[in-house]
Structure 1
Amino acid sequence: MVQFHADSAFAPSTCHVLAGHCEQENAITCLIREAQEEAGLHIERQDVELVHVVHHVDKAGDRPRMGLFFRARAWSREPELREPDKCTEWKFWDPAALPDDLVPYTRVAIAKIRSGELYSETDWPA
């Protein structure tokens, strides 16, 4: 997971998994590109599996988003801080002992992944 700077535009002072937005590419190609750009990791397409989808709204009035969570069964290289203007460090966490300052929908997704659930919804207005 990565720790964002206090002045980050997205989720300041929180932890989040490696993530990004697709740029005219499919989701797995996006994951592979973002892993390289953000952390210097090399992931092969055949080592990726979809493990969860979360449909979430960050705050009231925001556009809904679909978060696709993939598991990389293998990768090469150690994570390195490639965006020091946005992030402070990469760190591995035990899924059973996550940091308190984790992005909320990410916490939900990790809990659902651990229980084998493929889909969840978070923060929808009542």
Structure 2
Amino acid sequence: MNHPDHPAGTAPAAPGTDPVTLVVGVHLVLLDEADEATVLLGRRRNTTYANGLWHLPAGHMLPGEPVTRSMAREAEEELGISIAEHDLSLVHTLHHLDADDGRSRLQLFFRTPRYDGQIRNAEPHKCEDLRWWPLDRLPADTVPYTAHALAQITAGHRLSTTGWPA
């Protein structure tokens, strides 16, 4: 017999086994047009997470928003550029266990072959500086999971995990 709250063929989860709720982050991997081995990072400022560290242009998915819209929105908010959602390609997925708060996070990393506008620091209250860095010489004070993901992308890996117990 079907339960009115559950589609046919599904049953409610046993107590304590509810589905995992993930925080979903979106990250833009922008490589310099003249030097594909150089990536754009911003130094975070006045933030609750990773203040003072270098990080990719990034943000969180909002309720009711597909991940491609989230990424296009963050690019416009942080860099002042417009990206067509259909131009975004997922280049890496990172399942990250955050040691600070113990939350499971799905970090999605996107590339785009084109964008409209000039890259600029559109959120100087949250970003101290934007700078291009060689992928093989990222600053020591890069957000650790960002450095991990960029190394994985450079190695051609599309999926990785970090922060989980061995």
Kindly indicate which of the two structures has a greater share of residues assigned to helix: 1
Residue number among 109, 120, 123 corresponding to 2:160 in the alignment = 120
Q: Which residue of structure 2 aligns with residue 14 of structure 1? A: 53
Which has the larger share of strand? 2
Unaligned runs of 5+ in 2: 1-40
1:79–1:117 CA distance, 2 compared to 1 (3 A): same
- Opposite residue 57 of structure 2, the aligned amino acid is L
Superposition map of 1:1-126 within 5 A: 1-5=41-45, 7-23=46-62, 24-59=64-99, 61-126=101-166
Give the structure with higher Rg (CA). Answer: 2
Matched residue of 2:149: which SS? helix
Provide TM-score, normalisation by structure 2.
Answer: 0.70
Relative to structure 1, the CA distance from residue 60 to residue 10 in structure 2 (aligned partners, 3 Å threshold; closer, same or farther) is closer
Contact 1:60 1:125 in 2 (8 A): no
Deviation at residue 72 of structure 1 after TM alignment? 1.3
TM normalised by structure 1 equals: 0.91
Residue 134 of structure 2 aligns to a residue whose secondary structure is coil
Aligned to 2:12: none
**Closer, same or farther in 2 for the Cα pair 1:60/1:101, shift >3 Å?**
closer
Q: Distance in 2 between matches of 1:60 and 1:10?
A: 9
| Residue type of the alignment partner of 1:40 | G
d(CA) in 1 for partners of 2:143, 2:109 = 14
CA-CA distance at 1:89 after TM superposition: 1.4
Q: Counterpart of 1:120 in structure 2: which amino acid?
A: S
Partners of 2:90 and 2:58 in 1: how far apart?
Answer: 14
Alignment partners' CA distance in 2, 1:36 and 1:12 = 21
Aligned length: 125
Q: Cα RMSD (Å) of the superposition?
A: 1.4
Structure 1: tracts of 5 or more residues without a match: none
Which of 1 and 2 has higher RCO (CA within 8 Å, sep 6+)? 1
